[in-house]
Amino acid sequence: MIFNSFDFLCFFALFLPLYFLLRGKQRIYLALFASYLFYGWWDWRFLGLLLTSTVIDYTLGSQMGKSTTPQGRRSLLL
């Protein structure tokens, strides 16, 4: 699916009203699901890579938030 296709127009027309109907973390989960659906529509074989990247980034970001020292955050960033 590319941005200037009819498929994307339909996808976005479904996504946008749902996004504004939801609140809080539900919006985040919808955006995450829609992102996976969008990229999976293009080529489903890359979903594993995207999921792996999501898990690693979330885990490291969470650990950085819990870290109390700048050195600890910097080491996680590297």
The answer to whether residues 73 and 67 touch, using CB atoms and an 8 Å cutoff, is: yes
Structural tokens at position 4: 């200037």
Structural tokens at position 16: 């946008």
What percent of the chain is predicted at pLDDT more than 90?
A: 53
Per the model's pLDDT, the better-predicted residue between 17 and 3 turns out to be 17
Kindly report the average pLDDT of the chain as a whole number: 90
pLDDT above 90 (res 70)? no
C-alpha 27/C-alpha 20 separation (Å) is 8
What confidence category does residue 42 fall into, taking pLDDT thresholds of 50, 70 and 90? Answer: confident
DSSP state for residue 45 in the 8-state scheme: G
What confidence category does residue 73 fall into, taking pLDDT thresholds of 50, 70 and 90? Answer: confident
Structural tokens at position 46: 């890359």
- Amino acid 18: pLDDT: 96
What confidence category does residue 52 fall into, taking pLDDT thresholds of 50, 70 and 90? Answer: very high
